[in-house]
Structure 1
Amino acid sequence: MSPWLAAAQIWAAAALVMLLGWWRQTRSRNAGPVDVLWAGSLGAAAIFLGATGTGSALSRLSIGVLGGLWGLRLAWHLWRRVSREPEDGRYRYLRQHWRDDQVRFFLFYQGQALAVLLFSLPFLAVAANPLARPGPWWLAGIAIWCAGMLGEAVADRQLTRFREQPENRGRSCRLGLWRYSRHPNYFFEWTLWLGYACLAVGSPLAWLAWTGPVLMYVFLRWLSGIPWAEAQALRSRGEDYRDYQRRTPAFFPWFPKPDTGRSE
């Protein structure tokens, strides 16, 4: 199948999924599941491209398995959270700020469909790679992907366990990986996308694979990731989170600054 036809089909399918998600949100008044739909749609896109790509069996199998596992794991992790909690504070803020304007919410959901298309481009590049047997770049890509996947899963689990303890309400997680970065899950998510770029080396569409880490960094660092998460954290945790911001790097892990008088 032509890569561009496959991309068009992914966009159309994602737009339909987001339309249904928006319709459900008009009744539940809970936009949290949009994150689940985004991750699940990307995982499905990777599996679809692995099955229909024009590259070698090795390349198509690699992206189908790796991209599918990543998307479905993230979707399941997010679903476990949003299905048990009220609407995420970020979306509650948008609902208040937009005065529950459903036209804006519709455009927001369709923007997520466009994001599915954009972030599926690295999958497209890998699925077109004619690589016949494992080589140095393939091995590097697998190693980087595994490191990113493991780090993201560990960070997610550490935060989930911290939030499950009632005594931690209103406090910022400083345990494990969260001691060295305010968003270690985002950092390892970004790392994982570097792996896809390595897997695409040799593909006629290899340049597309670099849209993944570039766009992911831009989105996480300046658009929908850290700014949204930290604005909500400041609203809900106040001075505790301001102290966390002063002491802990935002994205790239590093040792925290010395304690300024508060106990861990």
Structure 2
Amino acid sequence: MKLAFSPCPNDTFVFHAWTHGLIDGAPQLDVTYADIDKTNYWAMDLEGPEVMKISFAALPYVIDDYRLIPCGGALGRGCGPLVLTSGGNGSPENLVGKTVAVPSDKSTAYMLFRLWTSQKIPDGVGKIKVMPFHEIMPAVKEGRVDAGLVIHEARFTYIDYGLDLLVDLGDWWEEDTGFPIPLGAIIAKRSLGKKQELTEWIQSSVQYAWDKPDASMDYVMEHAQEMSTEVAKNHIDLYVNEFTGELGEKGYAAVESLLGRAAKEGLIPAFDMKKLRD
């Protein structure tokens, strides 16, 4: 079976057991490591593997062809995207007419940013510039862009770049809605079937990771893009939680809230919400 997920610590932690043949009855995997921006577009072009990790923000575009698997993803609290600036530029209004770098225009992070700017900056920012994630903080620091939208381990490292936090979009979302943030989703081609089997295999891999957290660390660090072990472990602690094990009613409600609100704002196409659960 072909599977694509990012090299980020949370994904390698979750899928370590399955990728290493440690789940009874699970098929052997052919793994592609790819940033979520790539898998988002693979899903939309129907060119990706049968199973992959994408952003929840991309799900409405592919929901007719892919089924949401209710585990293995990233959804939680205290783990939201950050908007960073340089030089203490601390007011949302200061972004009017400015250039903001983002890692993807089809990501949950960008969707949250658009919802936040709609509420806080009615006049909008000037220009959105899509950049590789690892280039954003240096670009903000060097003044090549006015602000940057960052995710994942940047939460722990932006201070090293001398950057300032304008807003934690996770805090804003949780205060505004009361829900955790839906970030990354595991999807499978509807033509594949096997929703129940996939759910069981992924949940077994997650449980193995929780039961033996040190077993995956060599694999995690092999793909951790030069981050320290401490940062990798913090990353895992933030993004692997109860919703990774099972989306559950609270998780589904959070997804429906985010995507429903985005559809109302015209940020994504309208779609049949019932397909999130079928």
> Could you state the TM-score of these two structures normalised by the residue count of structure 1?
0.26
> Could you state the TM-score of these two structures normalised by the residue count of structure 2?
0.25
Q: Which has the higher helix share?
A: 1
Bigger Rg, structure 1 or 2? 1
Q: Which has the higher strand share?
A: 2
